[in-house]
Amino acid sequence: MPRTPMIKFGIVGLGRGSAYFSLNHVEGAKVEAICDIDKKLLEECGKAHGIPERYTSYEEMLDSDIDAVVVATPISLHAQQSIKALDAGMHVLSEVPAVAKIEECRALAEAVERNGKKYMMAENYCYMKEVVLLKELVAAGKFGELYFGEGEYIHDCKEMFRYPDGTLTWRGLWAQESNGNVYPTHSLGPLYQMFGERVVSVVCLGSGVHTIPGTKLEDSTLTLCKTESGKLLKLRFDIVSNRPHNTCYYSLQGTKGCYEAPRGLGDDHKVWFADDHKRYEWRPLRDYEERFLPEEWRHPPEEAMKAGHWGSDFFVMRDFIQCVLQDRKPPIDVYDALNMTAPGLASQESIAKGGALVEIPDFK
């Protein structure tokens, strides 16, 4: 059998980026270079994974013999580092969100267009088992026409706001300087794929600052999103409230069915479909796995279960590798990435204007 071509990867940002050493367990990929400004972390990761090519300069790594870059640095760097890699002739797998400013949206899209390289945003929540199953049920028409959806990202991240010496991390600075839904893609990404249309306008309001006085980021924000055809999505974002987390809550309402994710202790993923249930009674989502869940999730490879986020990280990496090797459109290309990211940027403008409606341009 012919050997699979090998994509040589460089990783920039070894905090979150450390999860991408799993690329070495995906056919067609090998991590050849790593980059971080933290020299101690750089050396530790290099030794642990046998990677001699170690850089503190991103530009120097881009000059090395690699084919693709994983951008896993703080959010404010995602766009500029992705653009630099694309302009250097490399494919890009970027962590979420794609950009940090609305003006970066068009610049990123243009970099992909002029270079012809593959760009994919690594929104792993779109690859989680339940989300994959729901997308199959939507495609099969079980929900009828979707017209309302909810996504929530509730995750107490306060311990990530400061270093041990008390100084602010990039996340801490982020909370001090930003407001609105500043991290929208985990909540919006799966909904965007299920509804199959982009958000064209948002309004955003917040609860006020209660848990960490002095920060700009309000404890909980709600963003209401209108889609191209007038459907409604509701996003809740909260990374500071004192409570158990619920990072994967979604609900769907269609003309023939509905879904709700678990809320907490003892709850379960549940659906109701008019075609299957004459009475209004919930049924466990898992009852539909045998008929609708793809084989790769019913019997996932061992490598997938070793990767992060319940196996979803593996499928993100595999799909990116396949789209490069087979010259296919990435499952979450630059336009999808911007459609998942821009509503969060618009929410920041809306909340600053007291909940005013903000329209979102089409970047395609």
**What CATH number labels 7-123?**
3.40.50.720
Q: Tell me, what's the pLDDT at 170? A: 95
First to last CA, the chain: 40
Cβ-proximal residues to 151 (8 Å cutoff; 6+ apart), any chain: 186, 187, 188, 190, 191, 233, 234, 235, 236, 249, 250
Every domain range in the chain assigned CATH 3.40.50.720: 7-123
200 touches 227 (CB < 8 A): yes
Q: How far is CA 16 from CA 20, 156, 313, in A?
A: 8, 17, 12
Q: What is the pLDDT of residue 3?
A: 64
Would you say domain 125-295+339-359 falls under CATH 3.30.300.30? no
C-alpha–C-alpha distance, residues 183 and 187, integer Å: 8
Handedness of CA 348, 354, 357, 361 (dihedral sign): negative
Please give the chain's pLDDT, 364 residues, in tens.
556 789 999 999 999 999 999 999 999 999 999 999 999 999 999 999 999 999 999 999 999 999 999 999 999 999 999 999 999 999 999 999 999 999 999 999 999 999 999 999 999 999 999 999 999 999 999 999 999 999 999 999 999 999 999 999 999 999 999 999 999 999 999 999 999 999 999 999 999 999 999 999 999 999 999 999 999 999 999 999 999 999 999 999 999 999 999 998 989 999 999 999 878 999 999 999 999 999 999 999 888 888 877 789 999 999 999 999 999 999 999 999 999 999 999 999 999 999 999 999 999 9
> How many helices (DSSP H) and strands (DSSP E) are in the chain?
12, 15
Boundaries of CATH 3.30.360.10 in the chain?
Answer: 125-295+339-359
Predicted pLDDT at 340: 99
As given in the structure block, the two tokens for residue 155 are: 């995750």
pLDDT confidence of residue 194: 99
Token output for 205: 């309001």
